[in-house]
Structures are given as C-alpha cells and as structure tokens.
Structure 1
C-alpha cells in the first residue's frame, strides 16, 4: 500500500491536468451567454468533470447492488421461516446502533428524567448528537425514520466519494487513482455501513471535504467542516489534530499564521456536548463512562487488548459468529498498523497522526470493537491501495475477487441482525 510518486495528470476533458479550456467560440468581442456565465459561477465542488461523473456512476451502481442484497435478505432470511410475506425493504437496515440514533432523535438523551441512574439504561449518551440531529431534521420532510436515515447516508456517501476522488487527484495528480480509491472503498468488507443509517457516511462527507480544504489552504472551511465532523464521531478530534499538524508543516509566512485560531474551532463541538451532559448528569466525561459501561471501552494496555481479542477470536469462548468478527477485528488492526508504517516511511505525517490516534483509541479497550468498520474512515488506505494497484495491476484484480465476496458476506451478516464490523 505504499504511496506512489506523483504522476503526470491524465489529459481528459474536465480534469485539472487537461489542456487549457476552450473559450466561448462566439464572434470576436462578444460576451459569453448567460448560461456560460452561470456555469462558470458555480462553486468548484459542484462542477463535475467526466472522471467525477464516473465516480458517481460507480457509487450509484454499488447502491443498487447493496439495496438489492437487502431486498434479497428480506425474502431469503425472514425472522419467521414460515412467513408468506417478506419484510419491508427498510426493515433489514434497522439493526444495532441504529436504535440508539433513533431513540435519541425521537426522545432526546434523557427522556422522562431517565439516565445512567436508571436500571436497564441503554447508555445512549455514548453516541454524539450530530447524526441524531440530522436524522430529526430530515424526518421533518421524510416521515419514515428508517428512510430518513437511509437518505442521509445516500447523499452523504455521494459527497464523500467525490471528495475522496478529489483528494487522490490532488495528492497524486491522476484521475485514475481517484476512481480506483473510490472503487476500493465501495467494495471494502464493511462498505454496507456506508448505506446504513449509521455515522460513517455522514462523517466522511464532512471529514474528507475538510481535508481537501486543508490541502488547498482554505483553513476556515477546513475548521468548520472538522467541527461538524466532531459532532458526528469522536474521530473528528483525530482529524482536527491531523489538520493542525498539516497547518504547521505547510504554512509559510506570518500572514498565513493568522488562520491558526481557526484550528481551535473543531474542539467546540465535543466541548459543548460534554457541557450538556455535565448539566444533566454532573459528569463532564459521561459519554466516555457510557462507553465503558456498555462496550467495555475502559483503558487497557495495547498488548492486553490484543490478547483479550485473540482469546475471543480463537479461544472457543464465543459463539462462532462473534468469534469470526473478532478475527476480523484482529486483521483490521494489523492492516491499520501496516498502513501507519507505510505513511511514516512516506513522510505523510498528518495522515499518520490521524491513523495513529485512531489505532490508539481502538486498541486500548478491553478488546477491539468496530475496528473493521473504522477502516472506512481511513482515506489514506484507499488512496494508497489505488496508487499501489496502478504499479501492480494484479492488486486490483486480487482485491475485487477476494474482498468483494467478503463484502457481501458482511452485508448479509449485518442485514440479518448478526453482529458485523
């Protein structure tokens, strides 16, 4: 997964490396038409080149595939084996964490004065408010809650893949790298969570444009987007740290340092959330303590976490379905460590910091939880794989033919209500 050396831009119409654009071909001195002026006035993010239209086409095709899989699951794996009617198309998506987001969106964090002091409490304060707030807002126009969650992820996923392609193109000056990075992401083992009513797609839709803005030295935009990302997942703080390091390493001149205060903005979202929880529970770290109670995320040394996960995966102490997923946790952690080493060797220090902080947070609990799902947020992994596959074409074929089927297995696992990712 090493990051390749910069390549010459592919000269495709609409790409940044193409030949200079042809001006309006009207008579000499004639002003361009109104439509042409409006087209040029559109924000850069809304202007799509041919390569980016292909990226969106790939995204739509994979959405059709994953929703067809969900429909098949409703027919083939009903809860009642004797039923004559399949479940609704949205029913398979309502699994696990979805119920926490739904209950927060419907009732808030502490309905009817319930909370951690209540027997049977669901520890919902462990989930940040960004996605539930978006869900509640979309529900005002989409009456079905599950449909509202699916719509958020659908739109956010489209924004995320466009941003990923543009980051790859900005980094390696190659349209093909962007397309491949998107393909590797969309066919990754846990890609089903990009379509579910979960936080991954929304986080990427904020975090990747934030990183792209930082690459273009637009620090106010990067800070605002990172702040919003911090309201969705705590991983946003790791993104903010990477942005700060990127700022220090790239900014030149005293005038540019005037943008430095913007880098404090991402901390606002978690600070406000902690303050809100403190006013209700008296505990500034209530979200962390909820994770400890519900998901064993209390601190353990990295080697202890590895040993406990290994025991769960191979010690025959867990049901086979859970054991298989803990095996996936171990594999994902190894991939993360390898990625970190590659980034350090390539001297991509901001991305390495982001991955290192993520691995530390995930690798110091009692055992690993949701590491495979977190790989969706490791954009350097997908860009690195894409660059590697350009030098070694067999990498792409191996990935598609081996990882692709595993993606379907994980999707079916999740959609049938089993623990996945």
Structure 2
C-alpha cells in the first residue's frame, strides 16, 4: 500500500470496543522516533546557522568590508521588517495608512506572528532574537508533528519510524528550508497546522478546529486548511454523535473575519489585506494561463535581471510539482489533502505572476510524507534527493542570507 492510498484507520469505528482497537495515530509521548526527528532538527539548525555565519563573512554588502555584520543581520530581510513594524507600532501608526505616501502595505500580513513577537520581546530584549526563538521553538513542534503524520500513514507499523525521520529529513533539507529559521511565519503556521491535522486524523474535531483557528491568525492559508478539515470531516465522520461537532468547523473563519473588521474600521475597506497584496506584490486576479504566461516571460524572456529570472524558473517548476502532487492525491482519493493543495495552487497561481510558490512547499505536508513513503519503496529516491536538492537548499540559503533573494 502506498502512503498516498487512503488508510482505513482514518475512519474510527463507532462502537467503544472497536474504538479502542482503532489503528494508532501518534499523538502523545516522545519515543525513539520523536527523538530521532528532534535530532535531525537540531543538526540542521546547526547547519543553517553555520551557513549564516559564513555568509556574513563571505558576502558582505561592501566587498571591502573588514567587519562582518551583526549576529542576526543576515536574517533581517524583506518580510521580517513588516512583522517587526507591526509588532512595534501596530498596523496604522500615527494615523498613517494606505492613504499615506510611501506606505509599506503592512495590512497584508496577519497579526499572529507580530503579536507573538511583541509578547516574546517583553522577555527577550532583542527583536531579531525574539523572532528567531519563535521560529526555533515552533519549528521543533512542526517537525515532531510532521514525523508523526508520516508515521501514521506508513503502510506497515514497523516502517513508521523510518517514514517519520525520512519525511523530516526531506522537509528540513528542502530548497526553501532556510525560511523555517528566519523570523517568518512558516514555522509558526506549521506548529499549529500539523498538530491540527493529527487531531483531525484522530477525529478530535474540537482540538483540530482550535488549532486551525490559531493557524489562521498567522496566515490566510489557514482557511485552506479549514476547508481541508471540513472535507476530512465529511469523508471520515461516520458515528451519528460526530455531527453535533459540525459548528466547530466554522471556528477557523473567526480570525480572518475579525481582522477584516479591524481593517475596515480603519480603512473603510473590508478586503484591505487583499488590496494591500495587490498594491505591494501584484497579487491582483489573473487567469491561471495568464499567470503562467507572465511568469514564463519573466523567466525566459530576458525581461528581468538574471536573479529574478532564475526565481521565476523556480516558481514554474514548483507549480508543476504542485499540480502533480494534487493529481496523485486525487487519484489516491485523498480528498482533503487534495483540496488543501488545490486551494494553495489557485491562490498563488492566479496573480499577475507566481510569487512565493517555492516557499509554499514548506506548508505542503502531503509532499514530504509522500516522498518519504516513495523512498521506502525505492531507496534510490533518498540518494537522488540528497544529491540534487540539498545543494539547491544551500544555494537558496546563501541567496536569502546575503540579501540577494529575488522573489
């Protein structure tokens, strides 16, 4: 059985005896498999911070510099400044907003990470250190959950530990894994989203809904996870008593509604966050074929700088990977995960051109679990992945840490 086949243990039997005999979906406890996952996580953290140290010395902004940047200088890039400014002064400081000249469109970012950053800063005086601490702790929670998800899908229990560590390894060495260590939202989002999916697989709907609700405070893509949760509920809940839990499925919509209400109170625009994305990142709606064509032209039409053109090539490749993944999930009747991936592709694939698709792969847990299962059947998959993808991960890390990131 492939990992991508819908496992029978998704459907919990209705009788108490059968419920006790239901297949095991890992949740509590930290066994040997969890320790292996955490060991991989710590080793890769050493690797990424060593890369950051070397990058500060080898790729200084001034080629004649005699002093390397500060310890956290390599991490203070792009989106970090938006989160920092929201944490420091809120969304509309001193009455400024989208009506002001030179506005930074910060309302495009959801409040979960900046508010947590502000809270941690009360204990950790350094803002970048606080951001790094959040990502470090959240990343540890995320990889534990990812390992357990991969183990729960393993076709044979004795291969579960290998599946979990393999999925974690592939995830932590993926091309955009550097963003898990940065003061960005990926690690925090996954720290809520992946345990939510574990809870959903155990049909703990209230727990799952609360965790997805927290995920939607961090990224709007939490709504895609909420849709997947609803589909999973409809396709797996069999006991009559489960249906009274349906109202929990509406809970994840609360943070985006509150955010829209707050922004409307200051701007008069219910979709202020979406319009900020359109102003700042060209995320106004275009048909999928227009977005593909525009990205292709940017990648190969010699209309952009080489760095940006290369990033556009990565965007195109990632779209192909996402479409293949979605097709495999549909073929295997993994409806909920297919909905999650499809909504992610639609949201990122209907802008003027593709933006941030490679980063989005960090949020595609079916990809890492599926690759792990494939590698258990075909050992050469692991060798090929490490030989090809690990160097790309190093290139992307240096590109980001040196301030040359183009998309």
TM-score (norm 1): 0.90
Inter-partner Cα distance in structure 2 for 1:379 and 1:3: 12
Alignment of 1:404 with 2:390, yes or no, is yes
- Aligned mates of 1:47, 1:251 — CA distance in 2: 26
> Following the alignment from structure 1 to structure 2, what is the Cα–Cα distance between the partners of residues 365 and 274?
21
Native 8 Å contact 1:4 1:388 kept in 2: no
1:284 and 2:270 matched: yes
Q: CA shift at 1:6, angstroms?
A: 9.0
Measured after TM superposition, the shift of residue 253 of structure 1 is 2.6
Distance 1:134 1:202 in 2: 10
Gaps of 5+ in 1: 8-43
The yes-or-no answer on 1:93 pairing with 2:75 is yes
Query: Which residue pairs with 2:87 in the alignment?
Result: 105
Instruction: Say whether the 8 Å CA contact 1:333–1:371 is kept in structure 2.
Output: yes
Task: Name the structure 2 match of 1:258.
Answer: 244
Q: Distance in 2 between matches of 1:418 and 1:146?
A: 19
1:295-333 alpha-carbon deviations (Å, 9 max, x no partner) = 000000000000000000000000000000000000000
Asked if structure 2 preserves the Cα contact closer than 8 Å seen for 1:410 and 1:420, the reply is no
Q: For residue 202 of structure 2, what is the aligned residue in structure 1?
A: 216
Distance 1:385 1:189 in 2: 15
In the TM superposition, 1:240-259 aligns within 5 A as: 240-259=226-245
User: Quick one: distance in 2 between partners of 1:420 and 1:394?
Assistant: 33
Corresponding position: 1:327 with 2:313: yes
1:368 matched to 2:337: no
Correspondence for 2:381 among 375, 395, 410: 395
Deviation at 1:89, TM superposition (A): 1.9
Report the 3-state secondary structure (helix = DSSP H, G, I; strand = E; otherwise coil) of the residue aligned with 1:79.
Answer: coil
Matched, 1:165 2:140: no
Query: Which residue in the other structure is 2:21 paired with?
Result: none
Secondary structure at the aligned position of 2:240 is classed as coil
Q: 1:59 maps to what in 2?
A: 41
Equivalent residue for 1:413? 399
Structure 2 counterpart of 1:273, from 254, 259, 266: 259
In the alignment of these two chains, the number of paired residues is 384
Q: Hey, what's the Cα distance between the residues in 1 that align with 2:106 and 2:214?
A: 20
Q: For residues 4 and 367 of structure 1, do their structure 2 counterparts lie closer, same or farther at Cα, with a shift above 3 Å needed? A: closer
Give the aligned partner of residue 120 of structure 2.
138
In structure 1, what is the Cα distance between the partners aligned to 2:181 and 2:66?
A: 27
Measure how far apart 1:255 and its partner are: 1.2
CA distance in 2, matches of 1:253, 1:321: 54
2:371 aligned residue: 385
**TM-score, structure 2 normalization:** 0.93
Q: Which has more radius of gyration?
A: 1
The counterpart of 2:281, out of the listed 292, 295, 306, is: 295
Distance 1:404 1:116 in 2: 41
Correspondence 1:3 to 2:10: no
Deviations 1:167-204 (A, max 9, x none): 11112241211110000000000000000000000000
Within 2, Cα distance between the matches of 1:60 and 1:310?
38
Q: Which whole-Å CA distance do the structure 1 matches of 2:50 and 2:170 have between them?
A: 20
What is the 5 A alignment of 1:112-131?
112-131=94-113
Query: Is the Cα–Cα contact under 8 Å of residues 3 and 346 in structure 1 kept in the other structure?
Result: no
| SS of alignment partner, residue 305 of structure 1 | helix
CA distance in 2, matches of 1:401, 1:66: 18
In structure 1, the residue matched to 2:338 is 352
1:192-249 Cα distance to aligned partner (Å, 9 max, x none): 0000000000000000000000001111110000001001011100000000010011
Q: How does 1:37-56 map to 2 (within 5 A)?
A: 47-56=29-38
Q: Equivalents in 2 of 1:3, 1:255: separation in Å?
A: 29
Structure 2: segments with no counterpart, 5+ residues: 8-25
Aligned to 1:16: none
